[in-house]
Structure formats: structure tokens, C-alpha cells
Amino acid sequence: MKTTITTLQKMKQDGQKIVMLTCYDASFATLMDEAGVDILLVGDSLGNVIQGQTSTLPVTMDQMVYHTQCVARGNREALVLADLPFAAYQQSPQQAYENAARLMAAGAEMVKIEGGMVMVETVAFLAARGIPVCAHIGLQPQSVNVYGGFKIQGKTQHEAEVLKRDALALQQAGAAMVLMEMIPADLAKTVTESLSVPTIGIGAGVDVDGQVLVVYDMLGVFPGKKARFVKNFMHGVSSIQGAFESYVHEVRAATFPAAEHSY
């Protein structure tokens, strides 16, 4: 059965965990879909893991359109979510709409944008025009130069209050889902309980509505230092398909992420 926004909303209401992975091509899309992954995220993380960039900032709209087309061709039932890359939506809601429309035409069924209160108007503009939005708060990789690196967000009382305010404002603006990256697990739980839309975590503990990882990280094939929230799901299995199935099982059972993967 095709996964839709309605499906994801019901999963939250029923307490069933949502499973998401990044995906950049048709072959992996088919394997993930067959393993039961609910959402395929065509992430601008392709800048890091495919292009070898040090950040997501160089990724272009043309590249995102191309990879979204590839993923859509390989997928059958999962929901395809695509990132709007850096400088493709920050200028104005109209700019965001034009580029989001390109991703939807390429096969995306939802788009993801980074930012809190500053993106409320844009989220409302897109949602009112039939484009579902996943809001991305907490650590925002496109703002890595502002943060001075990839650092945990929401650690202080002030930061936590800002994040909670942002999440509610984005939901009220029409966001269909909220993704939280690298924030304390207890804060992610509080935000999740305050929202009626599903939440997805990456480095945000187990008490969110779903989880996402970068596929190369969870397969253990991306070189370099691994983030605390990453687990290699190739351990103990004999195939990539087995790794995807193991990830789906552990997310559904809420055994991943464990305490050692959380902040």
C-alpha cells in the first residue's frame, strides 16, 4: 500500500514508528522499498557521501532534481521526500515554490526545508499551494558555518525554548512533518508530545515518531569519523537488503536508537 501523509499521521496516532533512510538512486530505492522503509529522503547529504564535499552547501537544484527522478523510478510504495538545497528557498516564498515545484514534478511527494521561525511564511506559502513540507530544526547542516561546526543544539534552556517555539510555529504554518537533528533526547520527546504532526529524529533519541539515518553511514561504507547517533547495520547480516530489514525492525521495535546513540 502506498505511503502517504495520511498514512504517516495515522502511524503517529497509533504509536507505530516511522522508518526513513536517505536514498539517492533507483537501485537503493527498490531495496529500501522492499524492506519496508516508509520514507525515502533524497537528501542534500549527497554532497557529502556521493560528491565528496565537506558540506551540503555546493549541492544544486539540478542535482536534486536528477537524484529525485532516479529515486522515484525505483520506488513503488514509500513516500519520496526531497531536500530543497542551500539558496534554493531562502530568498522568498515564491523562490521556494518554484524550486519545490521542480522537485514535485521530478517525483517528490514532500519537500524538506531547514529553518525555524524564519521559514514560517515559506512553509505556509507552500502548504497553501499543495506542496507538503517537512520542517528541519535543531542542527541544520546548511547553516554549519553559522554554528561553527556540527554541534548539538537545544542544550541550554533558551535554545530549548526557541526550538519548541519553532516547532509549534512551523506546525501551525502547515508543516506536515518535523525533523529534528542532534538535540537532547528529552527535548525531542517534549516537542514530539506537543505536536500533532509526526516527528522524525536523527540524533534525537528514541521518543520521536520515527528515525532517519544517512544510508552510507548505516551501511558502514562512508569513511571518516562517525557521529554518535550512527549504527552500522551491516554487522551480523550478509547483505545490504538484510541491513535495511534489520534497521526497519529495530526502528519499529524502538530498540534503535539506544542510549549510546542519543544525547
- pLDDT tens digits, residue range 78-97? 999 999 999 999 999 999 99
pTM comes to: 0.97
Check the annotation: does 38 bind a ligand. no
From 98, 121, 181, 245, the catalytic residue: 181
Closest CA to 217 of 46, 16, 15, 17: 46
Q: CA-to-CA distance for 100 and 87, rounded, in angstroms?
A: 12
- pLDDT tens digits, residue range 174-228? 999 999 999 999 999 999 999 999 999 999 999 999 999 999 999 999 777 889 9
**Is 109 among the residues known to form the active site?**
no
Give the model's pLDDT for residue 148: 66
Q: Where are the beta strands (DSSP E) in 47-168?
A: 79-83, 110-114, 133-138
- Cell readout for 83 is 531536500
- Amino acid identity, residue 208? V
Check the annotation: does 33 bind a ligand. no
Classify strands 79-83 and 210-213 as parallel, antiparallel or unpaired.
Answer: unpaired
The residues near 11 (Cβ < 8 Å, ≥ 6 apart) are 17, 18, 38, 198, 209, 210
Check the annotation: does 27 bind a ligand. no
Check the annotation: does 83 bind a ligand. yes
Per-residue pLDDT of the chain (263 residues), as tens digits, is 999 999 999 999 999 999 999 999 999 999 999 999 999 999 999 999 999 999 999 999 999 999 999 999 999 999 999 999 999 999 999 999 999 999 999 999 999 999 999 999 999 999 999 999 999 999 999 887 776 667 899 999 999 999 999 999 999 999 999 999 999 999 999 999 999 999 999 999 999 999 999 999 999 997 778 899 999 999 999 999 999 999 999 999 999 999 999 99
Cis peptide before 257 (omega within 30 of 0): yes
Give the model's pLDDT for residue 145: 73
Q: Where are the beta strands (DSSP E) in the chain?
A: 18-22, 39-42, 79-83, 110-114, 133-138, 177-181, 199-202, 210-213
Check the annotation: does 2 bind a ligand. no
Crossing angle of the two packed helices 157-173 and 120-128, in degrees rounded to 10: 20
